[in-house]
């Protein structure tokens, strides 16, 4: 497994991973275009990928404009191998090097993603829209979680 910053040439494979997930699926895959990915990766924030045998199997993207986690997805064939934790670490370390502002995300309740974020120290703060839980992570909370 290789972890590295995402490149523009990764976008096609990022889209494959995004559309392969079984939870938090897009109702319409066209809702997130290649142009959207490029904007969030290189203009609004930064992203990372996990590559296995030249195949992107997971990715994460943080949005510095809205101060949120825009994406963290793992191809189902590669779930439960620690890829999400490592992509989360890269993303959070970079984010808190840029700012100490609290970061947030939304995810569907009752999913593996919800359990993952709780395990990673995220705090539920309410709802995001009608169907998602809103979580936040402060700089202090992140550092405390690392030391626990």
pLDDT tens-digit profile of 21-61?
A: 776 655 545 667 889 899 999 999 999 999 999 999 999 99
Domain count, the chain: 1
Separation CA 27–CA 42 (nearest Å)? 25
Domain holding 68: CATH number? Answer: 3.40.630.30
pLDDT on residue 146: 85
Put simply, whether the predicted model's pTM sits higher than 0.85 gets the answer yes
Domain ranges, residue 65: 2-146
Q: How far apart are CA 28 and CA 32, in angstroms?
A: 8
CA distances from 96 to 30, 38, 119 (A): 31, 22, 19
Helix, strand, or coil (residue 94) = helix
Along the chain (148 residues), what's the average pLDDT of each consecutive run of 10 residues?
96 90 59 86 96 96 96 92 95 96 94 92 91 94 88
């Amino acid at each position: 497994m290789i972890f590295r910053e995402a490149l523009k040439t990764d976008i096609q494979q990022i889209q494959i991973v995004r559309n392969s997930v079984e939870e938090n699926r897009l109702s319409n895959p066209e809702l997130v275009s290649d142009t959207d990915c490029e904007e969030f990766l290189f203009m609004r924030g930064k992203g990372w990928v996990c590559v296995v045998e030249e195949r992107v199997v997971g990715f994460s993207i943080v949005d510095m404009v809205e101060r949120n986690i825009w994406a963290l997805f793992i191809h189902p064939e590669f779930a439960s191998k620690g890829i999400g934790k490592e992509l989360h670490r890269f993303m959070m370390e970079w984010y808190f090097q840029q700012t100490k502002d609290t970061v947030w995300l939304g995810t569907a309740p009752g999913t593996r993603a919800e359990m993952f974020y709780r395990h990673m120290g995220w705090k539920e703060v309410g709802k995001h829209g009608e169907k998602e839980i809103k979580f936040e992570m402060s700089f202090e909370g992140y550092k405390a979680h690392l030391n626990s």
